[in-house]
Amino acid sequence: MEEKKKGLAHLAGQIPFPGKKGRDHTGSDNEGGRDKTGKKAGKSKGKKRKWLKPVLVLLLIGAAITVILVRRSMKASAAAAGAQTQNTAVVEKRSISSELSSSGTLAAKDTYNITSMVEGEVLSADFEEGDQVEKDQVLYEIDKSSMESELTSATNSLTRAQTSYEDAREDYEDALSDYSGNTYKATDTGYIKELYIHVGDKVGGSTKLADVYSDDVMEIRIPFLSGEAALIGPGSPAVLTLTDTGEQLAGAVKAVANQDITLTGGRIVRNVTITVTNPGGLTTTMKATAQIGEFVGSEDGAFEASVDTTMNADLSTSVEVEALLVNEGDYVTKGTPLFRMTEKSADKLVRSYKDALDKAEESVESAQNKLDSSQDNYDNYTITAPISGQVIAKNFKVGDNITKNSSSTTVLATIYDLSSLTFEMSIDELDIQKVKVGQKVVITADAMEGQTFSGTVTNVSLESTYSNGVSTYPVTVTMDEMGDLIPGMNVDGIITLEEASDVLTVPVDALMRGNQVYVKDETVTEQQGPVPAGFRAVKVETGLTNDSYVEIRSGLSEGDVVYVAESSKNSGSSFMMMREGGMGGPSGGGNRSNGGGSSRSGGMGGAR
């Protein structure tokens, strides 16, 4: 190229320019168109020199064009040479999948170590190692004689507490009724002979309130021979004959005494109490005899008023009398209000019954808890299987004595639930969000070479483990089929997260930062930032990604040639090397390596 430039310069130096000094090819001066003699050249010579000007212009233009073409040729050659050094791949359709893999150790679905909460001698143990037992089947019976008396005592305590509670509940309900309206009510029926309370008095539990008398109904006790009295029942009709007048009155037997009494003459009798409605003339000074059926009383008796008593208060706390509601001489019946209490004292009175009820209820709860605890302890002497499964170990037999050790747990037996097997996969924190319960797992076992098994993700734990700067999460896989697999075998599991069929793909290292792909374009002769010469950046929409390929949903077409970073040079058969030892281009966003127990991989189908 340098030689070409020198030749052009030499050519230009041989061409004379008008208006300047120049030496012709003979080497003589030629100024102002004069010849060697100094005379002006003729007219014909002037005409010959006119055609030189356009020729010179054309020669200069041609020389400039030649220089430009040479330079472009050199740049194109350099760009082509640079493009030949890049790793490239063809956009192709294929099927790809995203997978996670991890290893683990098979374990029984459930494993239970049978322990004892109590101490004592083993009375029965009707099972052996290798037996298949059912849930709640009795495994051990331990001597529980020491607990029987405790259980009986707790049962009796509960019964007493419940009785007390019922009494307290009835008392509280009666108090709500008896003291309604803040009044205290009469407990007897009759006339008030004398009233002992006044406004402002404090009335306590046994305060005398009033004397009550009533002779509306009269009573009389008449002795009958003991043998006859035994045949008389309450409610039997009786006929009374007044001693003084001989008048007869109808009555009824109220009660027959059980006590025998000896009268004059050695007669053994029992008193029979008879009631009779007072027609208005009976008094306590009158006497009468009685006949009940065929039996006649042995002696006469004296009439008594049916009510002649002192009414006393029945209160749990003292109250203050705010107003009297009856007077002496008034006739009252049971429930007739006698006086009104102050509101404060009435509330205190009712609250005392409620407090007693609450306390009784607490006693019932305490007794019930004691009984429940005793019953639980009693039940602990009978040990049953918590699950259905196979007995793996039996450590105690009949006659052995079970003791509890505070520093360790005594295992009586071990049961495996072999209805299914499980294992745990350790999944990296970057991938755990992709794992869901119900996903299928393909499983292989070192001990079962050439065989594959299926499983299902049954639990995704959020309790992570941190190691070497990476957190991993345990994922439980339950075997759908077990074949000859047994607990303790090592297995590998692969979870297929996503799958895509017949989709456009490029190698993962063809995807640059910002979801860009560099597509081959020979018209681009210079590198544009990170984009190599011979390529142009194209924004793409991506889909499924695995360790080898990225799904391209838009932005590229099948057959496009794309730039691939150096790290993917040998990752697929569709990569093209146009020249060995080419330069490495800019890389895209890097993938984080997995530091946990899981690894990400991608299965792929062949290109279409």
The sheet with strand 401-402 has its strands ordered as 382-384, 138-142, 120-124, 401-402
Indicate whether 473 belongs to any domain.
no
- CA 164 distance to own-chain centroid: 42
Average pLDDT, the chain: 83
The whole-angstrom separation of Cα 98 and Cα 500 is 9
pLDDT for residue 67: 61
- H/E element holding 501? strand 490-507
Q: Is the pLDDT of residue 46 over 60?
A: no
Give the mean model confidence (pLDDT) for residues 174-198.
93
* pLDDT greater at residue 21 or residue 161: 161
Residue range 75-101: mean pLDDT, rounded: 74
Indicate whether 597 and 567 sit together in one domain: yes
Q: What 3-state DSSP class applies to 100?
A: strand
Residues 590 and 510 occupy one common structural domain: yes
Whether the pLDDT of residue 50 is over 90: the answer is no
Q: Are residues 91 and 132 in the same domain?
A: no
- Split at pLDDT 50, 70, 90, the class of 122 is very high
Question: pLDDT tens digits for 529-588?
Answer: 999 999 999 999 999 988 889 999 999 999 999 999 875 444 443 443 333 333 333 333
d(CA 73, CA 519): 23
Q: Are 505 and 571 in contact (CB under 8 A)?
A: no
- Give the Cα separation of 491 and 424 in Å (integer): 10
CATH assignment of the domain containing 122: 2.40.50.100
CB-based burial of residue 298 (10 Å sphere; 0-12 exposed, 13-18 middle, 19+ buried)? Answer: buried
Which of 36-45, 53-62, 78-87, 389-398 has the lowest average pLDDT? 36-45
pLDDT at 156: 96
CB 219 within 8 A of CB 254: yes
pLDDT at 324: 96
Q: Which is higher by pLDDT, 279 or 12?
A: 279
Task: Look at strands 87-90 and 561-563 and give their pairing.
Answer: antiparallel
Measured between alpha carbons, how far is residue 83 from residues 79, 240, 366, 510, 531 in Å?
6, 143, 91, 15, 11
CB within 8 Å of 10: residues ≥ 6 apart: none
**pLDDT band at residue 59 under the 50/70/90 scheme:** confident
Same structural domain, 594 and 551: yes
The confidence score (pLDDT) of residue 98 equals 85
Supply the pLDDT for residue 230.
93
Over pLDDT 70: what percentage of the chain? 80
Q: Which of 5-19, 75-89, 427-441 has the lowest mean pLDDT?
A: 5-19
Q: What Rg value do the Cα atoms of the chain yield, rounded?
A: 61
pLDDT band at 286 (very low <50, low <70, confident <90, very high): very high
**Residue where one domain finishes, among candidates 412, 429, 456:** 412
In this prediction, residue 5 carries a pLDDT of 41
> Which residue in the block uniquely carries the two structure tokens 């004379």?
16
Q: Is 477 exposed, middle or buried (0-12, 13-18, 19+ CB in 10 A)?
A: buried
Mean pLDDT of 404-413: 80
Structure-token pair, residue 130? 């290798």
pLDDT at residue number 581: 30
Tokens 């007669």 sit at which residue?
267
402/426 Cα distance (integer angstroms):
40
In the predicted model, is pLDDT for residue 71 greater than 80?
no
Determine the pLDDT at residue 53.
65
Domain CATH for 558: 2.40.420.20
505 and 596 part of one domain = yes
Contact of 586 with 413, CB cutoff 8 Å: no
**Residue with more model confidence, 542 or 608:** 542
In a domain, 8, yes or no: yes
**Sequential DSSP letters for 7-26:** HHHHHHHHS--TTS--B-TT
Same domain, yes or no, for 532 and 593? Answer: yes
> Predicted confidence band at 51 (pLDDT cuts at 50, 70, 90)?
low
Range of the domain at 549: 84-97+498-601
Residue 237 is predicted with a pLDDT of 97
CB 370 within 8 A of CB 119: no
431 located within any domain = no
The larger pLDDT score, comparing residue 85 to residue 273, is at 273
Same domain, 58 and 120: no
Are 91 and 75 part of one and the same domain?
A: no
Contact 511, 568 (CB under 8 A): no
Q: Answer yes or no: do 50 and 90 share one domain.
A: no
Report the alpha-carbon distance of residue 290 to residue 280 in Å, rounded: 20
Q: Is the pLDDT of residue 504 over 50?
A: yes
Least confident of 29-38, 284-293, 585-594: 585-594
In a domain, 314, yes or no: no
pLDDT (0 to 100) of residue 583? 32
Answer with the residue of higher pLDDT: 57 or 383.
Answer: 383
Enter the tokens of residue 509.
């290292």
Does residue 77 sit in the same domain as residue 23?
yes
The tens digit of pLDDT for each residue in 424-476 reads 999 999 889 989 999 999 999 999 998 999 999 999 999 999 988 999 999 99
Q: How confident is the model at residue 10 (pLDDT cuts 50, 70, 90)?
A: very low
* Same domain? 43 vs 115: no
How remote is the C-alpha of 122 from its chain's centroid? Answer: 40
Strands, DSSP E only, in 293-439? 295-296, 301-312, 319-324, 331-332, 337-341, 382-384, 389-394, 401-402, 411-428
134 assigned to some structural domain: yes
Rounded CA separation 7/207 (Å): 149
* Residue 230, domain member (yes or no): no
Mean pLDDT of 387-400: 93
State pLDDT tens for residues 325-358: 999 999 999 999 999 999 999 999 999 999 999 9
> Is residue 390 in a domain?
yes
Q: Are 516 and 573 in the same domain? A: yes
Amino acid 57: pLDDT: 63
Domains in the chain: how many in total? 3
Are the beta carbons of 87 and 568 closer than 8 angstroms?
yes
Q: What is the pLDDT of residue 542?
A: 94
563: left (phi > 0), else alpha (psi -120 to 50), else beta? Answer: beta
State how far Cα 341 lies from the chain centre: 56
**Is 90 exceeded by the pLDDT of residue 406?**
no
Which neighbouring-strand residues pair with 394? 413
Whether residue 137 is contained in a domain is answered as yes
